[in-house]
Amino acid sequence: MARFDPYTLQLQVTRMFEQGQSFFATVKVQDWLKEHNQDPSAYNILFHEKPAPPGSGKTIAIDIELQRKDGQPVDAWLQQEVNRET
C-alpha cells in the first residue's frame, strides 16, 4: 500500500475545493511553482475535477494542469510532480 502524504500539492488543492476555498488554489500552485524555481507568471493554471479513487474517503479529486503561456510544452516532470498523490 502506498504511503499517504497529506502534504502533496494535489491533495491540498483538492481539500481547498472541497471546503469551498478554490479561489486560493491558484495562489497555492503559484507558490509551489516558486518553490520549484519556476516563474508562475509563465504558466496558465487549470483545475479539472474528477471522481476520487475508490477507498480514498473523498468524493472528488482535482487534477492540476499547467500550460505555458509561450506555447512551449510543460516539462513532463513538472506536470507529473504537480499532480503527485503520494
Note every long-range contact of 57-60, with CB atoms under 8 Å and residues 24 or more positions apart, other chains counting.
58/14, 58/18, 59/18, 60/14, 60/17, 60/18
Q: What is the pLDDT of residues 27-44, one digit of tens each?
A: 999 999 999 999 999 999
State yes or no: pLDDT of 86 exceeds 80. Answer: no
Cell of 2: 502506498
Dist. CA 42–CA 58, nearest whole Å = 32
Q: What pLDDT, on a 0 to 100 scale, did the predictor assign at position 1?
A: 38
pLDDT grade for 61, boundaries at 50, 70 and 90: confident
